[in-house]
């Protein structure tokens, strides 16, 4: 079974065709620009437009909502995962731009929006003509999203929003249409009532901070956001009032599948690069890949790619079949992010000094992959989800 052989994973002809089309696009269009985009810390909006024209942003949506079929395949998360994996092999920044644009930008509108919100916002989002962000994380509310401090109060027929968000992807590009933010809109039974509200780009009092100086994902757009009395119409409430956090959790489970697919692509990209380098690099008169220690390292890297792909495909199939998939998504995200980090480390070691040079893709994967163990729920959060599925409760005490 070769690195690129997808026939062993039970994929249909249409699914393999989709994966092949996006892999070819990634190799031919994205890979040649990846280093320069990383070096200049610039999201290549021209490539985002090409991804939109190819239909990638519309993949998991039904056709009646504007969804897209590529090679006859689409309408589910498995299709989206195949596209994300293919792109992440060569550029994680563009892969996360796609993942966040779909999972955190368009999907909440499709899932919870009114007919009017869908009609206004989805066409451009699903065509890749616009991007949107989801403002959840705050300086004191990350994994503990219930600690949200951003507030929104009704003043006549407008929401007035005050607070701050951080690490928000796709929030400050030239084509960013809006950001959906979680905010405390009151209390219910002594607990915070958290709702989600759409805040259009350019709203007075909505301040997009300077882009972060990140360790990795340099070409991905990420900003802190500040809201100082930002006013939006009352009808910008997304979904039922007080259901913002619960709705986000359902979106988060799906996002973990997508991040697992992205992580698998990163792990595979590292393996591909390491295989090529080991085959061409001559050390003491022989190919580096002829040494058993290197062969075993590469074999371990293939094992990780294989296991990670099985994990995310399983979670995606459960989700698409309408079955419970939260635990499977956590398992996939944990397995695949570990694979990405481990393969990035091993690939860098195989490259030696060249692996420390940013023009080589393994160096970028080494920097980029760490965030995969943090974003969309840290590895510790995934372990917590898995532990609870085993019937374990960290807070349970033993009574005599």
pLDDT average, residue stretch 105-122: 96
pLDDT average, residue stretch 290-302: 96
Q: Tokens 């992959």 correspond to what residue?
A: 369
Cα–Cα–Cα angle for 167, 164, 208, nearest 5°? 65
Residues 6+ apart with CB under 8 A from 303: none
| Predicted pLDDT of residue 396 | 55
Question: At 3, is the secondary structure helix, strand, or coil?
Answer: coil
pLDDT tier, 64 (very low <50, low <70, confident <90, very high otherwise): confident
Dist. CA 160–CA 12, nearest whole Å:
49
User: 165: which strand partners?
Assistant: 225
pTM: 0.94
Dist. CA 180–CA 303, nearest whole Å:
39
Dist. CA 284–CA 295, nearest whole Å:
17
| Predicted pLDDT of residue 131 | 98
Side-chain-side CA neighbours of residue 144 (13 Å): 5
246-389 maps to CATH 3.60.21.70: no
Query: Would residue 376 show up in a list of annotated catalytic residues for this protein?
Result: yes
Dist. CA 276–CA 266, nearest whole Å:
16
pLDDT digits (tens, 9 = 90+) for 312-351: 999 999 999 999 999 999 999 999 999 999 999 999 999 9
The answer to whether 96 touches 217, Cβ cutoff 8 Å, is yes
CA separation (Å) from 168 to 59, 179, 223, 252, 370? 23, 9, 5, 14, 17
| Predicted pLDDT of residue 143 | 65
Q: Which of 120, 373, 376, 380 is catalytic?
A: 376
Beta-strand relationship, 158-169 and 206-208: unpaired
Structure tokens at 344: 């990035």
pLDDT digits (tens, 9 = 90+) for 192-204: 899 999 999 999 9
The answer to whether 162 touches 129, Cβ cutoff 8 Å, is no
Structure tokens at 384: 């917590």
Would the pLDDT of 4 be above 70?
A: no
CA separation (Å) from 375 to 76, 168, 217, 391? 22, 11, 12, 25
**Which candidate, 171, 156, 143, 152, places its Cα nearest to that of 238?**
152
**Which candidate, 121, 181, 183, 128, places its Cα nearest to that of 152?**
183
How far is it between the farthest Cα atoms of the chain?
79
Q: What's the CATH fold of domain 132-242?
A: Butyryl-CoA Dehydrogenase, subunit A; domain 2 (2.40.110)
The alpha carbon dihedral of 264, 265, 267, 271 has a sign of positive
The answer to whether 90 touches 43, Cβ cutoff 8 Å, is no
The answer to whether 92 touches 78, Cβ cutoff 8 Å, is no
Dist. CA 201–CA 44, nearest whole Å:
20
Residues 6+ apart with CB under 8 A from 291: 283
Q: What are phi and psi of 205, to 5 degrees?
A: 90, -5
H or E stretch including 319?
helix 292-320
The answer to whether 267 touches 308, Cβ cutoff 8 Å, is yes
Dist. CA 55–CA 67, nearest whole Å:
8
Dist. CA 264–CA 267, nearest whole Å:
5
pLDDT tier, 139 (very low <50, low <70, confident <90, very high otherwise): confident
pLDDT tier, 170 (very low <50, low <70, confident <90, very high otherwise): very high
Question: At 164, is the secondary structure helix, strand, or coil?
Answer: strand
| Predicted pLDDT of residue 400 | 42
Residue percentage of the chain with pLDDT more than 90: 82
pLDDT tier, 276 (very low <50, low <70, confident <90, very high otherwise): very high
Q: What is the mean pLDDT of the chain?
A: 93
**Which candidate, 98, 111, 165, 100, places its Cα nearest to that of 133?**
100
| Predicted pLDDT of residue 26 | 98
Structure tokens at 90: 């060569």
Dist. CA 262–CA 12, nearest whole Å:
20
Would the pLDDT of 398 be above 50?
A: no
Judged by average pLDDT, the poorest of 60-74, 119-133, 213-227, 366-380 is 60-74
| Predicted pLDDT of residue 395 | 59
Residues 6+ apart with CB under 8 A from 63: 69, 74, 75
Q: List the chain domain ranges.
A: 7-129, 132-242, 246-389
* CATH number for the domain running over 7-129: 1.10.540.10
Would the pLDDT of 156 be above 50?
A: yes
pLDDT tier, 66 (very low <50, low <70, confident <90, very high otherwise): confident
pLDDT average, residue stretch 358-376: 96
Dist. CA 53–CA 273, nearest whole Å:
28
């Amino acid at each position: 079974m070769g690195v690129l052989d997808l026939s062993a994973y039970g994929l249909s002809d249409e699914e393999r065709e989709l994966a092949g089309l996006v892999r070819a696009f990634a190799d031919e269009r994205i890979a040649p620009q990846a280093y320069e985009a990383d070096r200049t810390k610039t999201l290549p909006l021209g490539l985002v437009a090409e991804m939109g024209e190819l239909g990638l942003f519309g993949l998991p949506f039904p056709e009646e909502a504007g969804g897209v079929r590529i090679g006859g395949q689409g309408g589910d998360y498995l299709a989206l995962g195949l596209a994300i994996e293919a792109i992440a092999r060569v550029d994680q920044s563009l892969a996360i731009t796609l993942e966040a644009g779909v999972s955190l930008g368009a999907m909440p509108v499709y899932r919870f929006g009114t007919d009017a919100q869908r009609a206004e916002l989805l066409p451009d989002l699903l065509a890749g003509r616009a991007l949107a962000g989801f403002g959840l994380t705050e300086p004191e509310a990350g994994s503990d999203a219930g600690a949200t401090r951003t507030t929104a109060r009704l003043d006549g027929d407008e929401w007035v929003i005050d607070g701050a968000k951080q690490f928000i992807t796709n929030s400050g590009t030239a084509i960013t249409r809006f950001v959906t933010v979680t905010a405390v809109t009151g209390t219910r039974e002594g607990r915070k009532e958290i709702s989600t509200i759409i805040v259009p780009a350019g709203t007075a009092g909505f301040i997009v901070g300077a882009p972060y100086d990140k360790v990795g994902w340099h070409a991905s757009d990420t900003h802190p956001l500040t809201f100082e009395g930002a006013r939006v119409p009352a009808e910008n409430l997304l979904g039922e009032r007080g259901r913002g956090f619960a709705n986000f959790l359902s979106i988060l489970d799906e996002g973990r599948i997508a991040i697992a697919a992205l992580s698998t692509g990163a792990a595979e990209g590292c393996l591909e690069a390491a295989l090529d380098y080991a085959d061409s690099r001559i050390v003491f008169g022989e190919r580096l890949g002829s040494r058993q220690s290197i062969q075993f390292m590469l074999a371990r890297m293939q094992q990780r790619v294989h296991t990670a792909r099985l994990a995310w495909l399983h979670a995606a199939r459960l989700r698409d079949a309408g079955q419970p998939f939260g635990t499977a998504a956590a398992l996939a995200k944990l397995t695949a992010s570990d694979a990405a980090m481990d393969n990035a480390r091993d690939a860098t070691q195989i490259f030696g000094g060249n692996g420390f040079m940013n023009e080589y893709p393994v160096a970028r994967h080494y920097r980029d992959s760490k965030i995969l163990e943090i974003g969309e729920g840290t590895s510790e959060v995934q372990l917590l989800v898995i532990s609870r599925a085993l019937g374990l409760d960290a807070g349970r005490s033993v009574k005599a």
